[in-house]
Amino acid sequence: MYMKKTSSPPAPVRTASKHHRAREELRRRIAKGVYAPGTRLPTEVELPKLLDAGKQTVVRALNDLVREGLIYRRRGDGTYVTDRAEPPLVPGRHIRIGVLWPRSVLAGRLETEFQGAITRGMLASWGLDRVTPLWSRSSEREPTGAVWTNPARGVTAECLGESVYTRLRHPDLEAVRAGRFDALVSVSIIEEAWLESLLGLGKPTLLVDFPNERFAQRADQVFVDPVPGYRAVVRRFAEEGLRRIHFVGGYMGVPDPTGKMTTEEYIRFQRGRQRVDPDSYLRLSAYRMAIDECGLTAGEEMVHFTWYGPETCRPLVDAWMALPATQRPDALVCHSAGQAEELMAACSERGLYVKAAGCADERYGGPAIGIHADGMELGRAAATLLLGRMHWPDRLPLRVGVPMRLDRQRAAPQPVPSP
């Protein structure tokens, strides 16, 4: 028996939702250049008429495009089309980042100091390197600072430091609170009690140039890794036949507990209160590793710590000159190139010729061998890591070491002193 075959009912035609149609129409107009990159869109009062849609529908469409990063909002100003060459750092948000210094923030220091190089590296990564800063200090007694803003990238960075009259080695915490920052970057600050308070603010925080185990599980850290550079210079000295390779680390001062001491009072207060620069311990570890790899020995009598400055080098050199000639150092691995220069000069004054190396920035061209630390590269790594934390706030804290490298150019020859 023939059975007539029945056909299935046609599938219902799905129509796009109203907000989907409004969103795609906006996307089409942006793609065709009706709304060019960097231009302001019509207002949320005008757009419903232009798109023949309700206000709530248009708002939902705009929110979708903000999340995609195709457009961005400026509070109190309107909605703009993103320049795809420089999209917002965090789609749909304008973020405020606090960059915190252990000293006063002054214009010259941005160009000449290591903290300045780190800061410039971060600014370049955030699209702020071509922005003219606004210097916010109005009184010598107030916290110093500067502000950079790029609305297209959706970011404001404010660099804060102590006033020019204090030696606290960190900015005022109340000034940090008042900044209402979305994230914080501590640059070279090593005062642990203050950092504990800073982390207590509950903001995403990055510690730069201070690797510290106490905070390893609470904050991302970016630091200069001395191992490649310091190992390389010890190997160079060993290959040249030098065997008595000493290490000289640095002391650093403690904060002024009042923040109001005169220079004379502060000098008196520092006496007997020195502490080893934390970076010196890392460099000492790299030195010892390389000494062992080269089959050399370095007893405790070959490891020294001193203040920075010519006047503090002379007692150490006098102690070396009191040793038999066969026990005096013939090479020095120092905390910094400046310290290496001071020791070379003090040795030369006493008729002792030594080769010396120490950490320096890219511009160094003095008589010591430069072990280069790239502050700009440190800043770029910090900027990237901080944005990663803001996008993925629940990930594990990371520790990133930016390697030092040995200057492959030979140090300028130092004349051998006359007998």
Q: Residue 265 domain-assigned?
A: yes
State the residue range of the domain holding 255.
227-374
* Mean pLDDT, rounded, for 3-11: 53
Q: Residue 334 domain-assigned?
A: yes
Residue 370 and residue 242 share a domain = yes
Residue 263 and residue 136 share a domain = no
Question: Confidence band (pLDDT; 50, 70, 90) for 95?
Answer: very high
pTM: 0.80
Residue 245 and residue 113 share a domain = no
Q: Residue 209 domain-assigned?
A: no
Residue 370 and residue 239 share a domain = yes
What is the domain-level CATH number for residue 260?
Answer: 3.40.50.2300
- Alpha carbons 414 and 419: distance in angstroms, whole number: 15
Q: Which of 171, 203, 235 is the last residue of a domain?
A: 203
pLDDT given for residue 7 in this prediction: 55
Residue 133 and residue 191 share a domain = yes
Residue 247 and residue 110 share a domain = no
Residue 305 and residue 175 share a domain = no
Residue 238 and residue 149 share a domain = no
pLDDT given for residue 9 in this prediction: 57
Residue 274 and residue 334 share a domain = yes
Q: Residue 258 domain-assigned?
A: yes
Sign of the CA dihedral running 269, 273, 278, 281: positive
- Alpha carbons 336 and 369: distance in angstroms, whole number: 10
Residue 150 and residue 114 share a domain = yes
Q: How far is CA 110 from CA 104, 106, 129, 146, in A?
A: 11, 7, 12, 10
Residue 273 and residue 185 share a domain = no
Evaluate if residue 85 carries a pLDDT over 80: no
Question: Confidence band (pLDDT; 50, 70, 90) for 228?
Answer: very high
Question: Confidence band (pLDDT; 50, 70, 90) for 138?
Answer: low
Q: Which residues 6+ apart lie within 8 Å of 232 measured at CB? A: 290, 371, 405, 406
Q: Residue 30 domain-assigned?
A: no
Region of poorest pLDDT, from 105-119, 219-233, 254-268? 254-268
Q: How confident is the prediction for the chain on average, in pLDDT?
A: 88
Domain count, the chain: 2
* Mean pLDDT, rounded, for 370-393: 95
- Alpha carbons 146 and 46: distance in angstroms, whole number: 38
Residue 237 and residue 196 share a domain = no
Question: Confidence band (pLDDT; 50, 70, 90) for 413?
Answer: very low
Q: Residue 47 domain-assigned?
A: no
- Alpha carbons 142 and 234: distance in angstroms, whole number: 45
> Of 224, 218, 189, which is closest to residue 335 (Cα–Cα)?
224
Q: Residue 107 domain-assigned?
A: yes
Q: At what angle do helices 278-293 and 227-239 cross, to 10 degrees?
A: 40
pLDDT given for residue 274 in this prediction: 82
* Mean pLDDT, rounded, for 232-239: 97
Q: Residue 9 domain-assigned?
A: no
